[in-house]
Structures are given as structure tokens and as C-alpha cells.
Structure 1
Amino acid sequence: MKSVKKKKEDKTMQLGVFKTATEACAAATAAQKELVQKYTMEDRDRFIGSIRTKIMANMERLAQMEFDETGYGRLEDKIAKNTGAVMLSQGTEAIPHNMYASDKGLTVEYYAPFGVVGAVTPVTNPAATIIGNGIANVAAGNAVVFNAHPFAKKTSAETVHLVNEAITEAGGPLNLFTMAGEPTLASLDEIMVYPSVKLLVGTGGPAMVKTLMSSGKKVIAAGAGNPPSIIDETVDLKKAAEGIYGSSSFDNNLLCIAEKEIFVVDQVFDAFMKELEDAGAFRVSSEEGKKLTEICVVPSPEEGYAANKKYVGKYAKVILKDIGIEIESDPRIVIFEAQNDDPLVQTEQMMPIIPVVRCKDFEEAMERAVIAEHDNKHSASIWSNDINRVTAFGKRINTTIFVQNGGTMAAFGIGGSGTNAPTIATPTGEGVTGPQSFVRRRRFCMAGGGNYLL
């Protein structure tokens, strides 16, 4: 009699990662039904706590994996960025409840899950986006099917696996997070048309936003930005320079909220540039700045210019080398005096090359900053102690994120007060997203004067 060999367990299989997007959607649908039918809000809090613990225990490994796979940013900054996504994201406490009571009756307004959410993640922030959106949706009661960027699919798959592992270890359902192992545009199409996917979330550029909008389903979309910063003569220049240096250089300027160009009042321009150099910036001449512009942005038929993907998220000295400047030091940003019409000023470049524009006065700086932001309604900052100027610029720029006397990251709890979120939904208006963004409003009414105590 032949002995029957047991099939070996596949130790390489990752939880939540499927061959096709359709399989991923089906699994997420079953998991979400189990979540809302069998588990309480307190259970969701326990799952979120387990996710935080699990990801923090794997933080350095996950950041290294992301750095190796994408080649973008700085390892130490990725650790800080992903830690923010884990520890500063909101849980069930962010879901609102409203009550209306009178002698005519009692109405309770509460917020229910959409069900299954389809989410597009960017190559620039794959782990942080999955973790942040994932925690928010667990709090909201949703499952999420991710269509990861193909160039970050390994990091994304490992993040999905870790989160599923954390939830199941806490006694929760498997497959609240899923994805196709080989994400493509075709897999995104599968997700968009899947019947139980009721909400789409996207973090990326204009083309991604347009694609999701074409689905006919509700969309929460984070679009492009080109955040300007104004420096006027009333501010502490040393503090402003150190703030700009730290914020604009973070993860080699990959963050969509990070300052991309600076407008400085002529009266303090030279002194501010000196302070930036003292903070660690590497200054090049205007002519060398033009050479940087020539390689860092490329013509785009849709937008005029676009960032050259070869240099997105790269180290400053790597980019400098390609215009013939070789240095041994590791400056976090390169600065140069640029003309206002420089394409690098007008383009979201996502690299540590920061053009600085000299302006005759605050009014000119404000006018130029508003134009450079291109009405994206994304992010902007101003370094000024004149509250009238701060107010005037805030009204004109009309951005979702607006910071006075601090780096733009201050609005997310880093150097200021706030919560963390990887998706800043500017085109669709939700702003800084959280659990409250991924729920739908419902009302339960006890009519006829019942349940009201005088």
C-alpha cells in the first residue's frame, strides 16, 4: 500500500493576498459581513490596538523593504512617517453621533459602514497609506481591497499580511484587508465594478482621480498639490529656515503636503538664504538651478510640465551629480534663487530641489504663491507674525492644509496639533481623512413623542 504524503503547508503565502482582484473582493466582502454581524465597536478598538503593536514591531523591516523596493526617500524618514501613520491615526473615537430629542420624539443619527472599499495606493507612500486607510476603515466597519502600485507591490503585500495577522491574532475575521498579488490597471477595473465595492479611495495624481470618478461610485480622492511657502520680514528667519529645511526635506520631499517652492520678501531674501545654508541646505547658483530644472521636470502634454520620475524621491547629491556637481556631504535639500516662471516653481516635483523666488513685497509673494498652487486647494504655509497677512493669505490660497510659522507637517501632529492621515482628499472635499470619512450617515427615529422624559 502506497503511503500518502501530506501536502506541505505553503509558508510563503501572505494573508489577504490573492491571485486576482475578484478573489480579493469576494474575500473582503465575506470578512466585512462577519465584522459587522459578529463584532462590537470595542472589538474594533482591540483590532486597531493589535495592528499598532504588530506594525511597530515590524517598523524598521517594513521601512527597509519599502526603501529597497521603490528607491524613494530616506530610510530614517520612512520609519518616522510610517510611525505617524500607525500612532497618530484615529480610531472609533472619531466616528460622530448626533441626537435630536423633543416632546415629539427622539432621533439618533449615527454612522454606518459603506461595506467594502476599493483603495488605490501610491508608490511614494505604500505602507503608510495602507496602514492609515486600513486603521480608519476598521474603525468605520469596512473591509478594504487595495490596488497597490506595481512598483511597491511587495511592500504592500507584506503590509496587508501583517495587518491581517494582527487582526486575526486579536480574534477578528481574516481578509479585512486584501489585494491582488500582481496589481494592474485591469485589476483596478475589477475592483471598481465589483458589486459590493461601494466606495473608492485613491491617493495619486490627476489621471488616477479621473479614472476613479469614471466608475459612477462614490469617490474619496487625494489629488496633486504644489505647496508654496511665504517668508516675510516680520518672522524669526532662523526659525523659519530650520522649519522649512526640516519639513521640505522630509523623505526627500515625497510628501504631497511638503513645501515645494518658497516666496521670500526682498527685504530679507539674502538673510533667509544664508540661514537656510546654515541649517544645512546646499546652495547652487541660478545658472546651476536652471540646469537642475532642465533635468528635474519634463514636458507634459496634459500639464505643461511634470516631475522627471528618474529623480523623484532621490537624494540631493545624486541629482546634483547629474549636472556635474559632485559632493561628499549629504545635504537634505538644494536651494537656488529662481525666477517665478521657472517650471520647477510651477510643478509638483517631489524631490529635494527647492526653488526660492525673490519678491518685492508681501503682496507680490502672495500673488505668486496663489498662482503656483494652481487652485489645487492642497497645502500652503506662511512664516509671518503679522496676523493680517496670515489671514489675507489664508483666504486667498484657500487650501485644505494651511500652516502659520511651522512646517506643513505640523497640521498632522508633528510639531503642532493634529491627527495623521495619508489621504488628503482635495478634489472631492473630505480634506484630511479619518474614520468619519469612510462612513455613511443614517437616522433612527422614535416618533410620536415616545422615549422623551420631561
Structure 2
Amino acid sequence: MSVVSLKERSVDRQEPVPVTPSPIESGPVEGVMLRARAAQRDFAHVDQATADAAVRALAWALYQPDHARELAELAVADTGLGNVADKVRKKQRKTFGTLRDLLRSPSVGVIERDEAKGLVKYAKPMGVIGAVTPSTNPGATPVNKAMMAVKGRNAIVIAPSPLGYRTTSRIVDLMREELGKIGLPQDLVQILPSPVTKDSTEALMKACDLVVVTGSQDNVRRAYSSGTPAIGVGAGNVPVIIDETADLDAAAERICESKIFDNATSCSSENAVVIVDAVYDQAIAALERAGAYLCTPEEKQRVVDRLWVKGKLSRDLIARDADILAKAFELPKEAESKKFFLVEETGVGKAYPLSGEKLALVLTVYRASDFKAAKARVDEILNHQGKGHSCGLHTKNMDRARELAEDLEVVRVLVNFAHTFGNGGGFNSGLGFTLSMGCGSWQKNSISENLSYRHMLNITHLVTPIPEDKPTELELFGPHWKRIGHEEAAR
């Protein structure tokens, strides 16, 4: 399809969808919102092919190799978080996977029919999406959210972390350029003017039609109190179990690959591994073969003292390369060539900082007497931090996986995965690609699934008559009548 301009292009036949603008406070947000509303009004009625063309354009802005590398280098230079090679991989993998998902799904006109129920569902845009994005992914997350928003024929305004502003501003410019190349309104994608402040972010939250927040829990709470419909995500602190049936070397390789990716910046990165006693020593050996260094009790204390400063994670050590951590922790020379660090722990809670999320190449290790004890430990860790997010299991016993899914208060239970590469969508995982994972009411989130474009749609239901489906009173109340001895139950 050749995309030229909105005026020259045919649009779908549905009636215009009125979008009622929210009040805009004066200040830096006003101009951005006016431009977003104007662009979205033009774009709101395009056909599916045009919406998909816009999504492809946004994806290509980041996916093309020179852009992915430029933005990865910029992000690392500005934030000091993660590493360039993995950020390039993340940008391309997440963008490619999200594009796959979006191009396979309808978002314009009729998106679902249920003849038996007489229902037809029509997709409509929400309007302008306000997206708050984190410093850990200043390039990938804005594109991921923009693709989803535009898929639903919305506009998007991004409020980035100040630390990652330069990176986000650059990718926004690139996305706008790609839209312009195919004759679509560039103002479908915008960024708040610098400097981004709490006040300007809150003004955006109040003025837009949906807020989507990935990042600090403070921003999530602000979004929920803004008066605008909001989707926030929760903190991660992923614990995984290795049981006695697991392929230990395969489990260790997966854990290593996931833990070290982008220096553990992902909320889906493993933060604790709980190993059953029967294979504890063998599993530790397998993790060491995969590239781990096991800290001594004395070294453990230095890890704690230096990774946390006055009760908070050190900005100088989170998401840093392993050799930098080894030197900071004063580990032996051999540790500088390792990929990540194991620290054994016995407790969970505020008095045990290693039981929480670390955003660093440090993996806490717990020993459990058996699977039952391992499950209890995982539950304890999640109740301390990360409840609702996810957990993992390395096993050959699927009954145990089902038990975790049935009993634990998490949205996702991953079995035999490199957790980071399955949790936010993967080519061997049925979860949708995303960089924002809902944690349900367990973390006061409004969704208990991976964020998708469907969360950025309004749905109109066309309802037509069907054969009456009305059971008798006996069918519905019969069991209760029997329990209470009601006379109708005997008839």
C-alpha cells in the first residue's frame, strides 16, 4: 500500500467518533495536547491498512540497526544503566515481536463477531494516550507504547524519565520522521517539553484520555489519582525455583542468560533462586559453570553494605557491568571475569535487603528442604516485594507448575524459561510482547496481564435479538432449595 496523505486516502465508513477533550491546564502541556488532538482527529477514521502502515513506520524508526545502536549508546551514556549490546538486542527484539503481534490483530471497525450471542464488536480510538516511561528503557518503551497507541488510531504524548530524556527525544524525532515519510501526521507522537517535571507530568495525566505508566510506583499512584483512566504496572522481584527433577545445566544457562541481560535492568530479571536441598550443591555448581561467582559470608556483607546506601540502592552500582561490581565489592580477581554473583540468604523482609529487587547482577540464593518449602519461600518473597508480578520454575514435573499457578498470587508463572525473555512476550512464549506487565489488584494495578493495544481501545457492542435463553427457577435455585428443604425442591 502506498500511503500519501490523509486527505487523499479513503477512510473507513463508520461514523466519526467524537472525542471529548479533557481540560488542559495552562503551561507546557497545552500546546502539545492541542497538536495531539488535531492529529488524532485526522487519524481517528483511517482504515486498517493505514493504521498498520503507521505502526510499521514507528517500528522501523527503532528497529533499523543504525538507529537501534545510536539510541542504545545514547541511553547508556546518559543513564549509566545497562549495556549497549543488550539494549540493541532488546530494542530490535521487542519491536519486532510487538510488530508481529499488532499486524496479526484487528483494531479498526468490526474486530469480533459472536453470532450465537448476537454481538458484534467495533473498535474505536480513545483519543490521546499519556505515556510515562522509565530511565531503564528510554528508547524501547516509548516505541512499544506508541505502536500500541497508534494501532488503535490514538495519538500519544510521552513523559519520559528526566535521566533518559535525550534518548526518548531522539526516538520521538525518528518516529515523527517515519510518519512524515508516509504522509501521516507527525503530531501523533510527541514528547513533553524539557524539563519534564512532576507538575507537567501531572498536567498531562489530567489532560489526556488514558494514562499508561511504566516506572516508579510514585508515578503509578499519581496516575491513578489523576481523575483520568489509568493503567499502571507493578514492581518486579522475580523468584524462581529449581527442583530435583530439573535439567540443572539447562536451568543454570537460562537463569544466567536472563539475569545478565542488560545488566539486570528488567523487572522480569530473576532476583532470587530457591533450590531444593536434594540438588542444592549440584545446582550451585551448574550456576558456577554458567558464569556465576559464589560469594563467601564475608563478601556477602560487603555486597549488602555497598549495594545499599542508607537503605536505598546505590545509583553507582545498579545495572553496572560485572567487573565494576566485583571491584566495588572487593571480590577476588577471578570474580572480575564472572557474569553475575550468587549470595546465599536465609531470611526475607526489610531486615534482609537481598530478598528484594536489586536491579544488579546479584542473585540471592535460598536453600529449601523440598518443593513444598520452596513454594512457601517464594510466596514469602513475593509478599515482601513483587506480589502479583511473576515467578518461575525449572522442573520436569508439570503438576508442580500447575500447583504454583493455582496457589500463588502472581499474574505469570513461567516454566523452564529464561524469565526475562518469556515474561514480556517471546517467540517461544504465548504471552504478548510488551514492556509493561500488569500485576493485578495485588499491586493495585488495573490489569492482570501484559499491556497491549486492546487496552487502548474503546469498544462499541452491536446487540441483536437471539433465541430466548431463560432457564427455569428449578434449574437455577434447585441446589439451594434442596439444602434448605424448600418445598419447591420436591416437585
Pairwise same-fold verdict (TM > 0.5):
yes
SS at match of 2:124: strand
The one-letter amino acid of 1:361's match is D
Distance 2:365 2:166 in 1: 37
Structure 1 residue 153: Cα displacement: 0.2
1:355 aligns with 2:364: yes
- Residue of structure 2 equivalent to 1:325: 331
Structure 1 residue 314: Cα displacement: 1.1
Residue among 432, 437, 446 paired with 1:424: 437
- Residue of structure 1 equivalent to 2:14: none
CA contact (8 A) 1:227 1:260 kept: yes
- Residue of structure 1 equivalent to 2:86: 77
Distance 1:172 1:402 in 2: 41
1:441 aligns with 2:469: no
The one-letter amino acid of 1:135's match is M
SS at match of 2:270: coil
Change (3 A) 1:389 1:345: farther
- Residue of structure 2 equivalent to 1:7: none
Distance 2:275 2:255 in 1: 12
Structure 1 residue 24: Cα displacement: 1.5
- Residue of structure 2 equivalent to 1:252: 263
Q: Give matches, 1:362-373, under 5 Å.
A: 362-373=371-382
Q: Give matches, 1:292-303, under 5 Å.
A: 292-298=303-309
1:154 aligns with 2:166: yes
Structure 1 residue 389: Cα displacement: 1.5
Distance 2:80 2:300 in 1: 24
Distance 2:219 2:300 in 1: 31
1:130 aligns with 2:142: yes
CA contact (8 A) 1:253 1:351 kept: yes
- Residue of structure 2 equivalent to 1:86: 95
Distance 1:327 1:21 in 2: 52
Deviations 1:337-356 (A, max 9, x none): 22233724421111111111
1:222 aligns with 2:240: no
Deviations 1:201-235 (A, max 9, x none): 00013212111111121111112121100011111
Deviations 1:357-416 (A, max 9, x none): 111111111111111112621111001111222111222223222110111222411554
SS at match of 1:431: coil
Deviations 1:407-451 (A, max 9, x none): 1222411554443201112222242111111112212346799xx
Distance 2:147 2:185 in 1: 15
Residue among 55, 68, 74 paired with 2:62: 55
CA contact (8 A) 1:85 1:131 kept: no
Q: Which consecutive residues of structure 2, in runs of 5 or more, have no partner in the other structure? A: 1-26, 440-444, 468-491
Residue among 220, 229, 243 paired with 1:232: 243
Distance 2:214 2:391 in 1: 19
1:378 aligns with 2:386: no
- Residue of structure 1 equivalent to 2:48: 41
Distance 1:256 1:55 in 2: 22
Deviations 1:156-213 (A, max 9, x none): 001111111111112211211111231111110220222xx11000001321211111
- Residue of structure 1 equivalent to 2:38: 30
CA contact (8 A) 1:127 1:159 kept: yes
CA contact (8 A) 1:423 1:432 kept: yes
Deviates most, 27-36 or 415-424: 415-424
Distance 1:340 1:414 in 2: 36
- Residue of structure 1 equivalent to 2:474: none
Structure 1 residue 293: Cα displacement: 1.7
Q: Which has the larger radius of gyration?
A: 2
Residue among 342, 346, 364 paired with 1:339: 346
- Residue of structure 2 equivalent to 1:313: 319
Residue among 110, 128, 136 paired with 1:116: 128
The one-letter amino acid of 1:436's match is R
SS at match of 1:31: helix
- Residue of structure 2 equivalent to 1:15: none
Change (3 A) 1:416 1:332: farther
Structure 1 residue 101: Cα displacement: 4.0
Distance 1:323 1:448 in 2: 70
Distance 1:309 1:161 in 2: 29
The one-letter amino acid of 1:112's match is K
Structure 1 residue 92: Cα displacement: 5.0
| Number of residue pairs aligned between Structure 1 and Structure 2 | 421
Distance 1:356 1:384 in 2: 17
Q: Give matches, 1:169-180, under 5 Å.
A: 169-180=181-192
Residue among 380, 401, 405 paired with 1:390: 401
- Residue of structure 1 equivalent to 2:76: 67
- Residue of structure 2 equivalent to 1:8: none
SS at match of 1:378: strand
Change (3 A) 1:448 1:236: closer
Deviations 1:232-254 (A, max 9, x none): 11111011111101011111111
Structure 1 residue 316: Cα displacement: 2.3
Structure 1 residue 294: Cα displacement: 2.2
SS at match of 1:390: helix
Deviations 1:292-323 (A, max 9, x none): 122223555xxxxx533332211222123223
Ranked by relative contact order (alpha carbons within 8 Å, sequence separation 6 or more), the top structure is: 1
The one-letter amino acid of 1:24's match is V
Residue among 172, 175, 180 paired with 1:163: 175
Deviations 1:58-101 (A, max 9, x none): 11111111111111011111011111221000325334722244
- Residue of structure 2 equivalent to 1:4: none
CA contact (8 A) 2:206 2:228 kept: no
- Residue of structure 2 equivalent to 1:6: none
Q: Which consecutive residues of structure 1, in runs of 5 or more, have no partner in the other structure? A: 1-18, 301-305, 450-454
Q: TM-score, normalised by structure 2?
A: 0.81
